[in-house]
Structure 1
């Protein structure tokens, strides 16, 4: 980003929202974590206004809840929540690949599919290597671009929202496995090839296999875990400190670049 140009509020707002969303997906901003606008503003070295706007955006995306005394809390999704997400995700993807929207999908040109294929290759490579952090980024981009081939931004946006929420729930479970090689879905490239060859039946088989794989993996992980992450939605906490806020992230030292500045530098 050019240092000579002032950052527009809407741009800063979206950058903060994206940075916090990435932290939630990666599990570094865990479910149940509480914080205030001031904490985030101090951490990123910005004013309160764009932070407040970014947090409201994340609330509208279902990732944050507003608490009393003007604080926010990272939403805690349950196993029941994830099951509902998976059902909604399957319905959307089914619509993309089998219904009227599929005509645009299967009519995509080789040029339009080229970028999707690159995302697919990177996502599959990360999945096979068990590299969860790399997989998440490419997997989200892959599905955004795949759904984008349909040409309906509402479909793409809604699918992306559900996928982000799904990752927020599953990442803490997956990290407990340690070695993830051979455990993550890695058929992204096969799906692109099915679309490129206009093989709707094969694409549908891959999609159904994906849903079944996800359901089995998450059910197994939740069955083996007794914490409240997999408890029914809105279950009350039994431990006295279940909702105790964790310490805020270490503020930026005076004179040091803020986390947001470092993020922009890494992306430039």
Structure 2
């Protein structure tokens, strides 16, 4: 962690939050792991204030939870929690896709218009990277690109509240899932990788096709976690 005078408290806050977020999503900070503000401040060699702010930020995102009078800890989500997250995500994305059939100005232009393709190019690129990571079984890289994919896709609907809510749900889903997925010695071929198919369906404004693709992704993920928790 940089310690020179040009680093502001806000920068430290974000750096600490990013570092801890990556540790949780990579599964290196296990569910139930508790720590105090002082412990993290000592680890990074910084004052308590930006650490406390970073931990509060992560709690608001569902990555950590406050443990009253004891500090913070990594959540211990159950399979029931995961099912509920999947259901909540489905309700959000179903609404997004349905909006395309009722005149919502997402993407801003009619299907087939070059501007629509341009708007989706970056999202598709994230999807391609996510697919490569899924095929290779690289869960850490996959999570990063998957979150960026959905963040940028939801941004095309022009509603920041929608994007923030869906992002939170997907982050929490990954926090829950990664603890189980890391039990597998080899994740190649086990992770869903239909991101570009989804983008292509949305580019054609085929809401039912998009809904079916996401339903398949959710069913795949849930079945895998059910298998791992039983094992």
Q: TM-score, normalised by structure 1?
A: 0.77
CA apart distance, 1:5: 7.0
- 1:205 counterpart residue number: 212
Q: Deviations over 1:234-258 (max 9, x none)?
A: xxxxxxxxxxxxxxxxxxxxxxxxx
Q: Does residue 216 of the first structure (1) align with residue 223 of the second (2)?
A: yes
TM-aligned CA distance change 1:198 to 1:67, over 3 Å: closer
Q: Which segment is superposed worse, 148-157 or 13-22?
A: 13-22
TM-aligned CA distance change 1:73 to 1:189, over 3 Å: same
Q: Distance in 1 between matches of 2:162 and 2:176?
A: 22
- 1:105 counterpart residue number: 106
- 1:190 counterpart residue number: 197
SS in 2 for 1:27: coil
Q: Does residue 179 of the first structure (1) align with residue 186 of the second (2)?
A: yes
CA apart distance, 1:198: 2.1
Considering only aligned residues, what root-mean-square deviation do their CA atoms show, in Å? 2.1
- 2:60 counterpart residue number: 60
Q: Does residue 166 of the first structure (1) align with residue 188 of the second (2)?
A: no
Q: Distance in 2 between matches of 1:159 and 1:132?
A: 20
The answer as to whether partners of 1:120 and 1:139 remain within 8 angstroms in 2 is yes
Q: Which segment is superposed worse, 16-25 or 57-66?
A: 57-66
Q: TM-score, normalised by structure 2?
A: 0.89
- 2:112 counterpart residue number: none
Q: Distance in 2 between matches of 1:222 and 1:124?
A: 25
CA apart distance, 1:106: 5.1
- 1:150 counterpart residue number: 157
SS in 1 for 2:65: strand
The answer as to whether partners of 2:62 and 2:171 remain within 8 angstroms in 1 is no
Structure scoring higher RCO (CA < 8 A, sep ≥ 6) equals 1
What pairs up with 1:123-142 in 2 under 5 angstroms? 123-142=130-149
SS in 1 for 2:162: helix
Q: Distance in 2 between matches of 1:8 and 1:180?
A: 40
CA apart distance, 1:3: 9.3
SS in 2 for 1:66: strand
Q: Distance in 2 between matches of 1:201 and 1:65?
A: 37
SS in 2 for 1:105: coil
Q: What is the aligned residue count? A: 223
Q: Which blocks of at least 5 consecutive residues in structure 2 are unaligned?
A: 110-115
- 1:25 counterpart residue number: 25
What pairs up with 1:223-242 in 2 under 5 angstroms? 223-224=230-231
Q: Which segment is superposed worse, 156-165 or 215-224?
A: 215-224
TM-aligned CA distance change 1:138 to 1:36, over 3 Å: same
CA apart distance, 1:40: 0.8
The answer as to whether partners of 1:147 and 1:156 remain within 8 angstroms in 2 is yes
- 1:77 counterpart residue number: 77
- 2:14 counterpart residue number: 14
CA apart distance, 1:18: 1.9
Q: Distance in 1 between matches of 2:168 and 2:207?
A: 25
